[in-house]
Structure 1
């Protein structure tokens, strides 16, 4: 047979057969892939119907990076259960909605429905002129979450779900409604209402139609947390006045956070405040929280490194369902920790300001704050502090006069007291009796010199609380001090001195020099007026040492304190020196005091009830002592 060879026609035929086979294989593969995609799409639609997703709605609107493909979408919707409906809405992405007035700029996130940014428009961070506004909330430093259980036993957190924002106006008020939807008529709602020129927002939490999808047999947990930003020059001083305050049991107020960390559980809470020295964030509720678990953690371990945040706060409270729904009216306050502003709300918020307890707080509220507010209304703040100091010292000058007069009388009587000490050296009881008779005859009260000093303690402590807490001093300058609410550094040290710091403040130096000269002026009279008692340390030596120790202690302690406080004590000590000089050289003279005492001695004296009682007690003690000696 003749062997056939491949010709051109045979080659073309084989080529056409190969092309046909490849087309058939590709077509079948494409058909199978198309069928698989259609099947997956149908499964998704069926699953969406089961979770109450309306017909025709798809999840293609989700642009968040956590749900960019069908697999992630399925996982997300599966985890949300009944609330998977919210993941199909156009709001299911990380958008922010802004509400703003001249005081506040607030941006609320779709994810979580809580405030993502809160800026105080009129206050600058740390130093004046920086241009950076105080931001109480920024960069996920704060959280707000409701944790609840669904009817199919899922634990859900609102901070992980997307709310639908609707912004409207009610008169001059801006209203932002955030809804987390389980269906068209099933939702959880946050409602924010921002008024013009107000730091306080109305806030409400309510639900509708959730009884079918949420387990309402147990309360829902509200969790509010915040890491407080540093806003002032001294992180250590700011941290000292940063704490968590709360009102409970109809008007009682307490706080935690003064130590490294603290935890407290309290009942019947009406508001919770995360206070940052001169600013504060407050959550108030009309319906009191039945209980609250409160936690404060100090974040400043190393003052050189830990300079961004001061403390971490957390509050957890149960919200009870009523008739299967939530309905709570609340308020948010984001603004300055200013006594005058907080007091105007008539919600006991002024307790947040640490003005002191008892009489100390009373002095600040009813005397110092009104007087200084009046002065600072028409005077620069530095001058206002000086005038304020002058008024206080003038008001206290009668007390200073009585104190010095008592010292002068005791100084005149010192020779006679020394003589009595020698005469009755072996009979302490008799010596005490004769000394009391001398005081009575001369018309001298040995306690008169101590009482004025005791009377000044409430004023001293009240002022010590007033200056660090008075908001209006923030970033107000005077002379070299650029901020009267913080230290007045004139020299930065290249090293850190224990207890002193790494800077030199000038006003504490001036205050220390003033107190040194004041003590130098008065110590001699005090030691001369106080007779030396047997077995007691020599007061003259102690007072001489205190002349140097007191100014050093003031220098160290006040170096990082507000310059307004140091300015007050500098001016106060200068004025006191002047008052003492006038009293000593022009009002109270020893020869006149001596003549007055001698005149008192010549007059018959009727003992007061206290002196008479003391005399009787001494005589009884003396008789008992004699009886014991006879028996021996």
Structure 2
């Protein structure tokens, strides 16, 4: 094959063509029409500021020719073109002892919200807003038929003081006398930040026939150790409308009238927007972002608010508040009249009432005496059990009375055997119990009265911020589960770890139920023909309940397991004291015999109706029996 030779003529031609191409590229520019339609301004992320002064990073101009830049932005933004032309990158930091907010010139919105004095479960700074997980925008139309979004426009920042309060004014200007303003005012040591939206001189610029929409969305960062607990049980979108606080479940969207505030609640922390002027026809949406709880994730839920804003005399004028902080009942109740304390999730009805009026005051009092929260829980458990001990005594006293009359009830079953005598047997049984001063309900009522306490504390401990990341014994965080051993696999409904406090609580409840079995047996009348054997059912419950508790509480707050462990131990101790040192069966038997000698009290109307109904049923049963013969 012939070897290729160097061609000098071709080489010179290539150099000439390259030179011509470079000259053409550097001397010819697109015309103004192309620039107006195809060029956009690109803005990099804002630089970070570390103080309350406005920190500005000057944006590199897209256009070298200012006249071309002005023409392009005028065609795109109309009256707000100057805000884009003169716009500068930068952020302003407002901070006090508890919260730090970073506000960007672009959009005038909060781009970082740091909750001070708290950390995530993995010891990182606790941000509610960071890396564009939130957006706050007002969408509006102009009189020259443009649709604009504040999140895309540059505001001009200026700071000032009002006493000890730091003030930040962010203005989106048409001119010095025409602007849209976001005004932030931060107080010392307060999570609540005053925020207002107002316009001046824009009645001739904003098209009032178009809807002005406010959109606020946030993807909630995961903060806690247990993703399942944080996301599934305690992250909700709360709202207040018509003086009522309610919430929506994930995956739902609702239109709410007269909306006072929304709270994007994430277990122990929340992002709230409050308005003095209620929003009408606001749409709120909650979306679950967790696809698989076994996979580590950054975000838990997406919260969204979309609401129209009303003009007053052609201008916007809304006084609002931002709250980025802990969902602490003790803190939220200080904001009187807002109803924010209801987002602390203390339970509904009687359960919330007990938490607010009994358990929080007791807990706060003990917190003022001790610094170890494990000991506070133990002391609180002792207080609760002592308060409940009269109910335990009442239940045990009824059990002892039933034990005394049990031989008579057994004899009654033998006297009236079979289904045909069921009504007569029941009637005589009630008569014996009535004469002895014994009621089946007297044993059930104490147990029923203890149930509200059980469910109230079921809400109290896992939502109590004071317990978050507080350690006790082997548990590093009383608001989450403790781990003594990590399993190489996952057990359904149990998890991939072993928690010790639920094991101790399960053992304690087993011995409590074992001890309580004889008491329950005394409370039951002898088993009648055709009726289920409650004794056998109780035997199964002795083993079933501790196992269920072991599985359920393995992923729950260790503070709750600690409470149930101590509570069951104290209940066992109280029962032993009552049985051995308080209850005297001989005295009870003598009292029952004395009661039998007394004339029977006049029956109440309710009792008369029951006896009459039972007598009629007995007569009908006898007639049916004769008819068969």
TM-score normalised according to structure 1 size: 0.87
Measure how far apart 1:65 and its partner are: 7.2
- Structure-1 residue corresponding to 2:362: 371
- Structure-2 residue corresponding to 1:165: 157
- Structure-1 residue corresponding to 2:10: none
Measure how far apart 1:149 and its partner are: 1.0
- Structure-2 residue corresponding to 1:417: 409
1:446 aligns with 2:440: yes
Closer/same/farther in 2, CA of residues 601 and 84 from structure 1, 3 Å limit = same
Structure 1: distance between partners of 2:587 and 2:564 = 33
- Structure-2 residue corresponding to 1:183: 175
Structure 1: distance between partners of 2:84 and 2:247 = 40
- Where do residues 191-270 of structure 1 align in structure 2 (5 Å cutoff)? 191-239=183-231, 240-249=233-242, 251-257=243-249, 259=250, 261-270=251-260
1:603 pairs, out of 598, 605, 624, with 598
Structure 2: distance between partners of 1:135 and 1:74 = 41
1:571 aligns with 2:577: no
Structure 2: distance between partners of 1:96 and 1:283 = 21
SS in 1 for 2:432: helix
Measure how far apart 1:627 and its partner are: 4.5
- Where do residues 73-472 of structure 1 align in structure 2 (5 Å cutoff)? 75-89=72-86, 91-93=87-89, 95-127=90-122, 130=123, 132-239=124-231, 240-249=233-242, 251-257=243-249, 259=250, 261-346=251-336, 347-379=338-370, 380-425=372-417, 426-472=420-466
Q: Please give the per-residue CA displacement for 1:386-412, whole angstroms capped at 9, x wherever unaligned.
A: 110001000000001111111222222
Measure how far apart 1:176 and its partner are: 0.5
Structure 2: distance between partners of 1:354 and 1:460 = 16
Closer/same/farther in 2, CA of residues 328 and 579 from structure 1, 3 Å limit = same
- Structure-2 residue corresponding to 1:13: none
Q: Please give the per-residue CA displacement for 1:464-522, whole angstroms capped at 9, x wherever unaligned.
A: 11111111111111111111111111111121111111111111111000000001111
Q: Please give the per-residue CA displacement for 1:198-224, whole angstroms capped at 9, x wherever unaligned.
A: 000000000011122211134410001
1:619 aligns with 2:612: no
Structure 2: distance between partners of 1:330 and 1:580 = 56
SS in 2 for 1:153: coil
CA contact (8 A) 2:213 2:307 kept: yes
1:545 aligns with 2:536: no
Please say which of residues 503-512 and 581-590 is displaced more in the overlay.
Answer: 581-590
1:503 aligns with 2:503: no
Measure how far apart 1:77 and its partner are: 4.8
Q: Report which of the two structures shows the higher radius of gyration computed on alpha carbons.
A: 1
CA contact (8 A) 2:70 2:85 kept: no
SS in 2 for 1:211: coil
- Structure-1 residue corresponding to 2:4: none
Measure how far apart 1:544 and its partner are: 1.0
Structure 1: distance between partners of 2:343 and 2:365 = 23
Q: Please give the per-residue CA displacement for 1:360-392, whole angstroms capped at 9, x wherever unaligned.
A: 111111111111011011212111111100010
CA contact (8 A) 1:218 1:320 kept: no
- Structure-2 residue corresponding to 1:12: none
Structure 1: distance between partners of 2:143 and 2:565 = 68
SS in 2 for 1:210: coil
Structure 2: distance between partners of 1:543 and 1:66 = 80
Q: Please give the per-residue CA displacement for 1:57-115, whole angstroms capped at 9, x wherever unaligned.
A: xxxx99557946668886555332221110121x432x111111011111101111100
Structure 2: distance between partners of 1:353 and 1:305 = 28
2:475 pairs, out of 481, 495, 498, with 481
Structure 2: distance between partners of 1:541 and 1:622 = 30
Measure how far apart 1:265 and its partner are: 1.1
Q: Please give the per-residue CA displacement for 1:570-615, whole angstroms capped at 9, x wherever unaligned.
A: 0000000000111112212433332322222222221441434322
Q: Report the number of matched residues.
A: 578
SS in 1 for 2:315: coil
Structure 2: distance between partners of 1:204 and 1:142 = 19
Measure how far apart 1:629 and its partner are: 4.8
CA contact (8 A) 1:299 1:310 kept: yes
Please say which of residues 282-291 and 179-188 is displaced more in the overlay.
Answer: 179-188
CA contact (8 A) 1:86 1:92 kept: no
- Structure-2 residue corresponding to 1:523: 517
Structure 2: distance between partners of 1:310 and 1:408 = 53
Structure 2: distance between partners of 1:40 and 1:470 = 63
- Structure-1 residue corresponding to 2:6: none
Measure how far apart 1:553 and its partner are: 0.6
Please say which of residues 451-460 and 79-88 is displaced more in the overlay.
Answer: 79-88
Closer/same/farther in 2, CA of residues 608 and 66 from structure 1, 3 Å limit = farther
Please say which of residues 95-104 and 70-79 is displaced more in the overlay.
Answer: 70-79
CA contact (8 A) 1:67 1:73 kept: no
Closer/same/farther in 2, CA of residues 312 and 437 from structure 1, 3 Å limit = same
CA contact (8 A) 2:70 2:81 kept: no
